[in-house]
Structure 1
């Protein structure tokens, strides 16, 4: 018997014949179109709220990172035409949680689609996922959380069971040029590096082209930070903060000077922003000062520009233009 009949035929790809493809971005360098992005963090840290804010902007054709008087990502984010989004949740109710959040974020809910899986649970291998992308022409697909869409028989800690699932969603993202975001929880290993705190097999992170971690600042509970811990297609982006306030709601703040490992381990949480706030209280206690002078003094003390602006926002420092100069002063 000739066993060679069952062996695959050799096919070679000559790199000379491969065309270079340009990467398009939903948000550069955090979320690419045509690829898989993972957003992970501990429960209650604002992952879903942040993603729903992104969805709301996309459905209105508005710039995703907006809402600050200081550029959040200078020249790196832009408005698109309004797009359709598929959002699947295995944890929150559509009517009592998801839609109220979308409405609060200003979303056009007619552009947000959900696959009805009441009769049969949806999985990452489900043919309905591809059918929905084709039918809606969605530019963004969100599965929240990852664990809810693996399938009952899949062990999330086994690489050989996770790889085909991740390959499947990666193929869908590339085939239909949509961004796919998988939202995941973190494990309890507080001493581990950020790249090893995602639940389940490391193959989740290995297969994703971009991985973001969301965490809260210990001494500033309303401040949450998004840290870029993996970027296969561009340089890693700087950490970005947003505020979740029970009265004011969601607001992007801007770049934030903290690493993912510091954010998750508790080391230096809020120390840099705290030092910048104390500096501003000290230098402005006697009255207003020119913004240029404040910036020069801050730089001499090793306080970065973005950290200074974050502290300004937190203290709600007033800016007044006198003549050709801006002056900062503490609020009354």
Structure 2
């Protein structure tokens, strides 16, 4: 009896016959359709809250970010509302997720959850694809990814992570939906974003886009999203949002800080603090023409966007003087 395993037949794909496909975006250049995106950060940094805000706008077909792409492209044009599958392994649906969605203005009828009360859902579970087909969801979120690996999977072993990431990557491409995996970062003290990601490098290798969320050290209500991997487009500029118990969630816009600085407590937000100090100094004696402020800022190495972020944070007013604009500090 011959027990030899039959070798697979050789099949070649000639690149001449492959058609070029245009990448489509849920959120340019951060979240592509048909691919996997990872959003990671330390616990309590606002990852889930931010994603729920995005989900709320998607269910309403509304634009949800200022144009921070750097090239004039709209990050999300107003479009038809879409269905979303949101799976959480940490937060209660009734006491945490639903209140956040309602506060964000979501159409909750378009947010679906796979009931895994009797059997935990994993990334290899057939119910995931069944739900995508049944709901025609354009976005699937697994929060956190560690809760959907399966009890026997070691997240630090590439041979165990690779088939899981392959599975969700195939689902995203097959059904042309965006899949977001939310993950907690490890405790590596180096602060380098590349060393603080999820366990196996195969997580980030399979994802086409990786984002890091963190808070500014001396302004804890301000959180920043930094692009640390972008395989399909130029990396997007960092974007900040404000999150506090009194005023809730609010997008701020571009923020001049990189992922490594964001994760390094010694230098978080230093550039913005320096820009604020500069503005308070130059405007201390009254209004100054905007052109003079910008010119002096450039001479000190302060980037334009950092200057405008600081202007907004200090609530500096623009006053028309003839045909030009002047800046003035708000009255005490």
> CA contact under 8 A between 1:196 and 1:202: conserved in structure 2?
no
1:2 Cα offset (Å): 6.3
In structure 2, what is the equivalent of residue 209 of structure 1? 208
Question: CA deviation digits over 1:297-328, x for unaligned, max 9?
Answer: 21121111111111112112223344443332
> CA contact under 8 A between 1:212 and 1:230: conserved in structure 2?
yes
In structure 1, what is the equivalent of residue 21 of structure 2? 21
Aligned to 2:150, the other structure's residue is in SS state coil
Aligned to 1:88, the other structure's residue is in SS state strand
Normalising by structure 2, we get a TM-score of 0.95
Which consecutive unaligned segments of at least 5 residues does structure 1 have?
Answer: none
> CA contact under 8 A between 1:35 and 1:173: conserved in structure 2?
yes
In structure 2, what is the equivalent of residue 290 of structure 1? 289
**Quick one: structure 1 residues 192 and 304, their matched pair in 2 at CA, closer, same or farther if it must change by over 3 Å?**
closer
In structure 1, what is the equivalent of residue 225 of structure 2? 226
In structure 2, what is the equivalent of residue 78 of structure 1? 76
Which consecutive unaligned segments of at least 5 residues does structure 2 have?
Answer: none
In structure 1, what is the equivalent of residue 6 of structure 2? 6
Whole-Å separation in 1 of the counterparts to 2:215 and 2:121: 31
**Quick one: structure 1 residues 324 and 83, their matched pair in 2 at CA, closer, same or farther if it must change by over 3 Å?**
farther
Determine whether 1:314 maps to 2:286: no
1:78 Cα offset (Å): 2.4
Equivalence map 1:219-298=2 (5 Å): 219-298=218-297
Equivalence map 1:90-101=2 (5 Å): 90-101=89-100
Aligned to 2:205, the other structure's residue is in SS state helix
In structure 1, what is the equivalent of residue 106 of structure 2? 107
Question: CA deviation digits over 1:193-228, x for unaligned, max 9?
Answer: 312212311111111010000111111111111111
Q: How many residues align?
A: 328
Whole-Å separation in 2 of the counterparts to 1:16 and 1:234: 24
RMSD, matched Cα:
1.5
Aligned to 1:250, the other structure's residue is in SS state strand
**Quick one: structure 1 residues 287 and 192, their matched pair in 2 at CA, closer, same or farther if it must change by over 3 Å?**
closer
1:248 Cα offset (Å): 1.9
Aligned to 1:6, the other structure's residue is in SS state coil
Aligned to 1:11, the other structure's residue is in SS state coil
Question: CA deviation digits over 1:221-272, x for unaligned, max 9?
Answer: 1111111111111111111111112222111112211111111122421110
